Amino acid sequence: VAAEKGGYDHFMLKEIYEQPKALRDTMASRLGEQEVILQEFKLSAEEVKDLHKVFIVACGTAWHAGLVGKTLIERWARIPVEVDIASEFRYRSPLIDKHTMVVVISQSGETADTLAALREAKKLGARVVAVTNVVGSSVSREAHDVIYTWAGPEIAVASTKAYTTQLEGMVLLGLYLAQARGTMSPEKIGQVITALKEIPTQAQEVLEQAKDIEDFAQSFVDVEDTFFIGRSLDWNVAMEGALKLKEISYIHAEAYAAGELKHGTLALITEQTPVIAIATQMDVYDKTVSNVKEVKARDAKVIGITFQGNKDLAKSVDHVIYLPKTVVELAPILTVIPLQLLSYYVSVARGCDVDKPRNLAKSVTVE
Ligand code: G6P
């Protein structure tokens, strides 16, 4: 087993470090200069133009990737998107017809609720696209189209490289739909593609900050509650960061839309509640910073995450993690990496079973 971990103490850490390669492999041969090529996709441009609606359906971490996918597809391809937890989708009579695309996201391709949702969507006449990491999995066999993430086997229960490659899958799908529908110029598509090609190297740069993150992770050892806040895509990543911490360190963590805090949750913020504040989405940056000031005024210890160059955040928080600059839609891929590392080091410091947290399974094949 030690050999399988490739010199790392845990599979989770190994998989966190495999992200630059996983991200590179997932985009390989899918990017032209100003064009996304999804060879496995059989849907014609005419059929894409005919879509009225998209549902994204998944569980757990994959659902969090779907939340980011919604913003990207709506912003780029101008199609309304709903995101559903698979176990909810099936029982709420979703409004689906042949002009609906249902995207199921599943690392394993075997999650019972996701598979059942896929079957329900097919029965209702939707075009079903699977985003999955396992070739030949049930989901990949039953969907009409498949976009594989090429993350390689993920062993740790807490998902890391599967999530970042699912985010990349959402970027590819969003651009592909936009290009087919003509809602984005080739120049604009080219700009995102150029930025995407930089992401693996930038992910490596973020990983180089691991020692810093390991150091302040020690201050979380006795924490009982913590909040992750952000707006827009930052909020979606906050949800994934909170899930990681809960899963492997058993600390109660909650993600909140930063602007919603003052409608109740702010009452829970004390100097005992560290807050992780994400501020990469520049259209809402100032708003997020003012929310950060609200929690800081309640004496919370705040760790900020933002792009290099956003120097003013440092004035409102106790510690800042800087990310290399990219286009805002790609930021989630980089933002989650320090959150994964934070959870990992907190879990280790608390003596938890990092790779096999209590009560959880890698793949849930019961409903
Ligand atoms: C389990 C795993 C999670 C995963 C979820 C969905 O709960 O512990 O890490 O996100 O299932 O799994 P899937 O294989 O469908 O992505």
Alpha-carbon gap, residue 105 to 164, rounded angstroms: 12
Phi then psi for residue 138, to 5 deg, are -55, -45
User: DSSP readout, 277-332?
Assistant: EEE--GGGHHHHHHHHHHHHTTT--EEEEEETT-GGGGGTSSEEEEE----GGGHH
> What is the CB < 6 Å shell around ligand 1?
59-62, 106-108, 111, 114, 157, 159, 360, 362-364
Q: Kindly give the distance from the C-alpha atom of residue 109 to the centroid of ligand 1, in angstroms, as a whole number.
A: 9
User: DSSP readout, 70-87?
Assistant: HHHHHHHH---EEEEEHH
Q: Is the ipTM of this complex over 0.90?
A: yes
Pocket probe mutation, ligand 1, options 363, 365, 366, max atoms within 8 Å of Cβ:
363
CA 296 to chain centre: 27
Regarding pTM above 0.90, the answer is yes
Q: Kindly give the distance from the C-alpha atom of residue 294 to the centroid of ligand 1, in angstroms, as a whole number.
A: 34
Q: What is the pLDDT of residue 2?
A: 67
Sign of the C-alpha dihedral computed for residues 331, 333, 338 and 342 taken in this order: positive
Q: Kindly give the distance from the C-alpha atom of residue 84 to the centroid of ligand 1, in angstroms, as a whole number.
A: 15
- By the 8 A CB rule, do 270 and 295 touch? no
Phi then psi for residue 52, to 5 deg, are -105, -20
Distances (CA, A) of 151 to 19, 108, 213, 362: 8, 11, 24, 15
Give me the amino acid identity at 305: I
Q: Copy the structure tokens of residue 320.
A: 């800042």
E strands in 139-279: 145-148, 225-230, 252-257, 275-279
Alpha-carbon gap, residue 169 to 162, rounded angstroms: 10
| Ligand 1 atom 2: residue of nearest CA | 362
Q: Kindly give the distance from the C-alpha atom of residue 133 to the centroid of ligand 1, in angstroms, as a whole number.
A: 11
| Ligand 1 atom 11: residue of nearest CA | 363
Active site residue 315: no
Q: What is the pLDDT of residue 365?
A: 86
Q: What is the pLDDT of residue 37?
A: 95
Alpha-carbon gap, residue 26 to 130, rounded angstroms: 15
Return the ligand 1 atom nearest residue 166 CA. Answer: 16
Return the ligand 1 atom nearest residue 361 CA. Answer: 8
Alpha-carbon gap, residue 33 to 18, rounded angstroms: 26
| Ligand 1 atom 15: residue of nearest CA | 106
Q: For every one of its 367 residues, what pLDDT tens digit does the chain have, with 9 covering 90 and above?
A: 667 898 999 999 999 999 999 999 999 999 999 999 998 888 888 999 999 999 999 999 999 999 999 999 999 999 999 999 999 998 999 999 999 999 999 999 999 999 999 999 999 999 999 999 999 999 999 999 999 999 999 999 999 999 999 999 999 999 999 999 999 999 999 999 999 999 999 999 999 999 999 999 999 999 999 999 999 999 999 999 999 999 999 999 999 999 999 998 888 899 999 999 999 999 999 999 999 999 999 999 999 999 999 999 999 999 999 999 999 999 999 999 999 999 999 999 999 999 999 999 898 888 8
Strand partners, 58: 85
Instruction: Summarize pLDDT for 69-123 with one digit per residue, the tens.
Output: 999 999 999 999 999 999 999 899 999 999 999 999 999 999 999 999 999 999 9
Strand partners, 252: 225
| Ligand 1 atom 5: residue of nearest CA | 60
